[in-house]
Chains A and B, each alone.
Chain A
Amino acid sequence: MTGGALLGQTFHMDTQTRQDHAPGGARDRAREVLLAAVRGLVLAAVLLPFSLLMLILTVVSVALVPLGVGLFTTPALLGGVRALADLRRGLADEWCGIRVPPAYRHIPASAKPWTRTFAQLRDPQVRRDLVWLPVDATAGFVTALLPAVLVFYPVEGFALAAGLWRPVARTEPYWYGFVPVTGQASALGAGALALVLLLAGARYAPRLLTAHFRLTRAVLAPGAAELTERVRVLTETRRDAVDSSAAELRRIERDLHDGAQARLVAMGMDLGTVEMLLDRDPEQARELLRRARQSSADALEELRDLVQGIHPPVLAERGLGDAVRALALRLPLPVEVSVELPGRAEAPVESAAYFAVSEVLTNAVKHSGAERLTVDLHHAGGALRITVTDDGRGGASVAGGSGLAGVERRLGTFDGVLAVSSPAGGPTLVTMEIPCALS
C-alpha cells in the first residue's frame, strides 16, 4: 500500500525476469516450466470456477438487496469474494513474487446489516474485487490455462506420433490441434506440432503464469488516487501524533522543572544549611531536616502523578485489562468492567487504548450525570474493541472540541476509530476499535 511496497514489487519482478534467462541447469528450467504448467492447471481448473460462481451469487444477492434478503447474504458473499481474492493475492506472492496489497476499509463489527452492506459496496477495494471476478473468469482463465496446455498437450501429440494414431484414427481422422491425423505421416505432423508447442511452452509457460498474476494485480491493486488518499490520511495522523507527543513532552518538562526538580534543589539547600547548623543550633537543624523530608515526600508524590500520566504502572505490570479495572476502582461511580483479552497488545496500542478509556470515563463522570458505567474490552476480527456505556442524560458528541474529539484524533494514529451513540435522554454508548494483534 505504500511507496516502499510498490518499489519492492517492481524489484521482485525484475529478479523474476532475470531468472527466466539465467543459464541455470536444464533440469531446473524443466522443473520451473512444469511447475508453471501445474500451477496454471490448478488455477484454471480449481480456482477459476469459484470466481464464476461467486460472481453469479453476488450479482443475485445484490439484486435481492431491495427485497431485504440481500442485506444479509451480501456481506457474507462479499466476505467470500474477499477470501477468494486474498487467496489469489497469497498465491501471486508465493508463486511469482508479485505483491498485490489489499486496501479494504475497516467496518466496525457492530454495524447494522444495512450500513454494513452499503459501506462494503462503497469500498473501492470491494468494487475492484467484483470487477476482478469476470476478468478472472475470462482473461484470467486463458492466461492460467495456456501454460498448462503448452506443456501437457504435446504429450498427446508425441503419443500419436509414437503409434497411438492406430487405435484412435481407424475410421475417421483424429484432430490434434489443426492437424487431421489419418496415418503415420500425419501422426508425425502432429508430433512436430507437439514439439513446437512444447518449445513454446518451455520458453513462455512461466512468463504466462506471471502474466496471469500481473493481470490480477492490475485489476485488484489500489490505484494511485487511493494511495494518494491514504498518504493524506497518514500525513494527517502523523502530524497529530507528533504534535500531541511534543505537547506531552513540553508538559512533562514543565512539571519536572517546576515540581520535583525545584523540590530537590530546595532539599539539597536545606541539607546544606543543616550541616552548618548541626552544632550551633540543633533545634533549627531538626526543623530544617523535617522540612527536607517533607520536600522529598512532595517530590515523590509529584513524580508519582507524573508517571501515572505518562504510563500508568498497573498498565506496565498487568496489561490493559487490570489497568482499566484499577482505573474503575478509582472513579467515584460504580463501574462494571468486563475483559476478554487472550493476550496483550503492543505497548503503544495498550497505552492509547488505556488513555482513550480513561478520557471517555472521565467525560462520562463529569458530564453525563450517570449513576452506573460499564466498560467492555475484547478482541475480535483483528481489532481491539472497547465499549463504554453510561446511563446518563445523553447528548454527547465528537463535535465541538469535546474530549471525545481528542480521543478520536489520538486513536487515528493507530488507524483506530471511535463512534458515539448518545440520544438526548441517554443512554450513551461510545465504541472504539483499534486494529491490532495480541501476543
Chain B
Amino acid sequence: MRVVLAEDLFLLRDGLVRMLEAYGFEIVAAVESGPELDRALAESAPDVAVVDVRLPPTHTDEGLQCALRARRARPGLPVLVLSQHVERLYARELLADGNGGVGYLLKDRVFDADQFVDAVRRVAAGGTAMDPQVIQQLLAHRATRERPVDRLTPRELEVLGLMAQGRSNAAIAAQLVVTERAIAKHTSNIFAKLGLEVSDDDNRRVLAVLAHLDRDR
C-alpha cells in the first residue's frame, strides 16, 4: 500500500516511516511542509495520505487545508489527519463532503501501533477513523433537552461510540469480547432508537451515525 506522509518534526516523521514500513506499507514520499505535500499528493497518487494538521510554512492548519484541497481535486482520496488536539470543527470539515476515506486522530494514537495501522488501513479502504475524543465530544451530556441518544442503554452507547470511531462489527465484538451476532443486535436497536435507516455498508453506517450525532448536539 502506497503512503504519502507529511510531518514536520523529524523524530515523529522518522518514527512513523519506520512503523509503517515495519507493517509492510510503502512510503512513496515523506515530506515536511505544505507545498511539498501538495506536490507529493498530485504527483504520486498514493493509496492513503497521513498528514499532520500543523505544517510549515504557516505553522497553522496548512496540513488540513492541503488535505481538503487534495480531496476536492480527487474526491474520496483517503486522508488520515493527525494532530496534537482534536476539534469537532475540523472533524466536521473533513466529513463534510460525505465521501468517506477520512481519518482524524490524536497523535497519541500512534502509541498503539496495531490500532493505528488498523486505522490507516481502514481509511485507505474508504472507511472512517474518528478519534475517541471527537466521539466523546459528540456524545457529551447535554443539559437542556432529551436527545434520542439518551434513550440508549450503557452497552448500546459503548457500541455506538466504537461504531462512530469507524470500527467494524467484528472489531467491536473483539474489543468488547462478545459475539458478532450480539453486536449486530445492538446495532439494529441503536439504529431503531436513533431513527436511522439500517445499512449493510459499514462506511455508510458510520457516516450516518456521525452526521446524526453532529446534528443532534
Tell me how far the C-beta of B86 lies from the nearest C-beta in chain A, rounded to whole angstroms. 10
Q: Is A371 a contact of B144 with CB atoms below 8 Å?
A: yes
A325 to B60, CA, bound (A): 17
Residues of A within 8 A of B39 (CB): none
CB within 8 Å of A: which B120-173 residues: 137, 140-145
Partner-binding segment picked from A218-226, A310-318, A422-430: A310-318
Q: Does B54 contact A (CB under 8 A)?
A: yes
Q: Does A156 contact B (CB under 8 A)?
A: no
Q: Is A325 a contact of B89 with CB atoms below 8 Å?
A: yes
CB within 8 Å of A: which B90-147 residues: 107-108, 111, 137, 140-145
Tell me how far the C-beta of B214 lies from the nearest C-beta in chain A, rounded to whole angstroms. 9
Q: Does A56 contact B (CB under 8 A)?
A: no
Residues of B within 8 A of A314 (CB): 85, 87, 89
Question: Chain B: interface residue count, which band?
Answer: 20 to 34
Q: Does B88 contact A (CB under 8 A)?
A: yes
Residues of A within 8 A of B53 (CB): 317
Which one of A300, A326, A334, A371 contacts B87 once the chains associate, using CB atoms below 8 Å?
A: A326
Tell me how far the C-beta of A274 lies from the nearest C-beta in chain B, rounded to whole angstroms. 16
Which one of A313, A322, A332, A333 contacts B85 once the chains associate, using CB atoms below 8 Å?
A: A313
At the interface, is chain B mostly helix, strand, loop or mixed?
loop
Q: Is B60 a contact of A317 with CB atoms below 8 Å?
A: yes
Residues of B within 8 A of A254 (CB): none
Q: Does A170 contact B (CB under 8 A)?
A: no
Known: A293-B111, A318-B61. A326 touches B89 (CB 8 A): yes
Q: Is A329 a contact of B111 with CB atoms below 8 Å?
A: no
Tell me how far the C-beta of A332 lies from the nearest C-beta in chain B, rounded to whole angstroms. 5
Known: A325-B89, A330-B88. A317 touches B61 (CB 8 A): yes
Q: Is B111 a contact of A297 with CB atoms below 8 Å?
A: yes
Known: A296-B111, A297-B108, A317-B61. A332 touches B140 (CB 8 A): yes
Residues of A within 8 A of B145 (CB): 371
Q: Does A304 contact B (CB under 8 A)?
A: yes
Known: A316-B60, A318-B61. A333 touches B87 (CB 8 A): no
Q: Is B137 a contact of A330 with CB atoms below 8 Å?
A: yes
A314 to B53, CA, bound (A): 11
CB within 8 Å of B: which A286-304 residues: 293, 296-297, 300-301, 304
Residues of A within 8 A of B54 (CB): 313, 317
Q: Is A333 a contact of B144 with CB atoms below 8 Å?
A: yes
Q: Is A329 a contact of B137 with CB atoms below 8 Å?
A: yes
Interface size on A, residues (CB 8 A): 23
Residues of A within 8 A of B85 (CB): 304, 307-308, 313-314
Tell me how far the C-beta of B144 lies from the nearest C-beta in chain A, rounded to whole angstroms. 5
Residue of A nearest to B93 (CB): A322
Q: Is B61 a contact of A300 with CB atoms below 8 Å?
A: no
Q: Is A329 a contact of B140 with CB atoms below 8 Å?
A: no
Q: Is B60 a contact of A329 with CB atoms below 8 Å?
A: no
Interface readout for A74-98 with B: 1 if CB under 8 Å, 0 if not? 0000000000000000000000000
Residues of B within 8 A of A334 (CB): 144
Residues of A within 8 A of B108 (CB): 297, 300-301
Residue of B nearest to A312 (CB): B85
Interface readout for A340-351 with B: 1 if CB under 8 Å, 0 if not? 000000000000
Which one of A304, A325, A326, A332 contacts B84 once the chains associate, using CB atoms below 8 Å?
A: A304
A228 to B147, CA, bound (A): 59
Tell me how far the C-beta of B130 lies from the nearest C-beta in chain A, rounded to whole angstroms. 14
Q: Is A329 a contact of B89 with CB atoms below 8 Å?
A: yes
Tell me how far the C-beta of B68 lies from the nearest C-beta in chain A, rounded to whole angstroms. 13
Residues of B within 8 A of A332 (CB): 140-143
Residues of B within 8 A of A365 (CB): 143
Residues of A within 8 A of B143 (CB): 332-333, 365
Residues of B within 8 A of A326 (CB): 87-89
A332 to B145, CA, bound (A): 11
A304 to B83, CA, bound (A): 11
A300 to B110, CA, bound (A): 13
A435 to B93, CA, bound (A): 32
A322 to B140, CA, bound (A): 21
Chain B residues engaging chain A, CB cutoff 8 angstroms: 53-54, 59-61, 83-85, 87-89, 107-108, 111, 137, 140-145
Given contacts A308-B85, A334-B144, 11 further A-B contacts (CB under 8 A): A296-B111, A297-B111, A313-B54, A313-B85, A316-B60, A317-B54, A318-B60, A326-B87, A329-B88, A333-B143, A371-B144
Of all A-B residue pairs in the complex, the 8 with the closest CB atoms, nearest first, are A317-B61, A329-B88, A317-B60, A326-B89, A326-B87, A313-B85, A371-B144, A332-B143
A selection of 12 A-B contacts at a CB cut-off of 8 Å is A297-B111, A307-B85, A317-B53, A318-B60, A318-B61, A325-B89, A329-B87, A329-B88, A329-B137, A333-B142, A365-B143, A371-B144
Chain A residues engaging chain B, CB cutoff 8 angstroms: 293, 296-297, 300-301, 304, 307-308, 313-314, 316-318, 322, 325-326, 329-330, 332-334, 365, 371
